[in-house]
């Protein structure tokens, strides 16, 4: 089983240390910075063996080379993005598996936010590390991919088990929820969740991870087929992809 440590860095990023207790192996997911990782490792007397990158953006790979130099760890990332992952050693494709001791992750290709974005799903631990593809009540901006690619990627993640914990890379939940209410204002589950989120953020508590079951009932980017959202957008007869694209367009303007 994995021990997961969440490290808040920069203004709203999360780095994750994941530690396989059975064999004493440790990885870090998307290290924006090296120093907070090194400090957390020292506090726990853990050695770092791997970096797992989801995509190439600087706030996910900024600590790669310093951590590799200081610890001798191996850097893991997408084969299709190997030219943009600093120091990459292990290249992975869709459906590949990555073993961290006794803990096994399935690699899921989730293009959209970037081309080459991947996620790591540890099924036995009910943990998904999805970078900037899915957020709590949101999804990533389409910097490189298309709406169709992102919709396809989210469809893959929607099919994971409901108890799966979504370890996304940013604390965007409050803003995402405010936007969600503009397209899904009568959703009772969303209203309840936003009350909880607002209470947590007022105490500076994290709202990540969430569970996939929560996202399925409150995240508008997963709910393009819902009649209530379609009615609010005046898109009752449009394909799901068109509805998703409109939701993403509105969120880009919302902030």
Largest Cα separation within the chain, whole Å, is: 57
Mean pLDDT over all residues of the chain?
97
- What domains can be seen in the chain, in order of their start residue? 2-254 (3.60.15.10)
For residue 56, indicate whether it is catalytic.
no
- Hey, what are 156's tokens? 């893959």
Q: What is the pTM of this model?
A: 0.97
Q: According to the model, what pLDDT value does residue 201 have?
A: 97
pLDDT tens digits for range 112-161: 999 999 999 999 999 999 999 999 999 999 999 999 999 999 999 999 99
For residue 49, indicate whether it is catalytic.
no
Distance CA 25, CA 43 (A): 16
Beta strand 97-100 with 90-92: parallel, antiparallel or unpaired? unpaired
Q: Which of 167, 165, 85, 160 is nearest to 133 (CA)?
A: 167
For residue 117, indicate whether it is catalytic.
no
> pLDDT-based confidence at 1, cuts 50/70/90?
confident
Find the catalytic residue in 19, 56, 57, 117. 57
The DSSP element (H or E) to which 125 belongs, if any, is: none
Beta strand 50-52 with 25-29: parallel, antiparallel or unpaired? parallel
Three-state DSSP state, 218: helix
Find the catalytic residue in 20, 49, 56, 59. 59
- Hey, what are 207's tokens? 């709202």
């Amino acid at each position: 089983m994995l021990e997961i440590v969440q490290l808040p860095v920069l203004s709203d990023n999360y780095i994750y240390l994941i530690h396989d207790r059975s064999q004493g192996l440790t990885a870090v997911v998307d290290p924006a910075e090296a120093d907070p990782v090194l400090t957390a490792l020292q506090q726990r007397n853990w050695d770092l063996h791997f970096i797992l990158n989801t995509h190439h953006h600087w706030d996910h790979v900024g600590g790669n080379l310093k951590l590799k130099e200081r610890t001798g760890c191996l850097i893991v990332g997408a084969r299709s993005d190997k030219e943009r992952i600093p120091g990459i050693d292990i290249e992975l494709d869709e459906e590949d598996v990555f073993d961290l001791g006794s803990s096994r992750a399935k690699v899921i290709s989730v293009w959209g936010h970037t081309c080459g974005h991947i996620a790591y799903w540890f099924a036995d631990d009910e943990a998904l590390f999805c970078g900037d593809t899915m957020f709590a009540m949101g999804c990533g901006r389409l910097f490189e991919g298309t709406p169709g690619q992102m919709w396809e990627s989210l469809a893959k993640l929607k099919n994971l088990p409901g108890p799966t914990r979504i370890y996304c890379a940013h604390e965007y939940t409050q803003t995402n929820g405010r936007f969600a209410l503009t397209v899904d204002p009568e959703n009772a589950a969303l209203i309840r969740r936003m009350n909880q989120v607002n209470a947590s953020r007022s105490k500076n508590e994290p709202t990540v991870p969430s569970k996939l079951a929560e996202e399925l009932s409150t995240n508008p980017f997963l709910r393009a087929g819902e009649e209530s959202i379609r009615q609010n957008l005046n898109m009752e007869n449009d394909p799901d992809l068109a509805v998703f694209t409109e939701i993403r367009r509105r969120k880009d303007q919302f902030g």
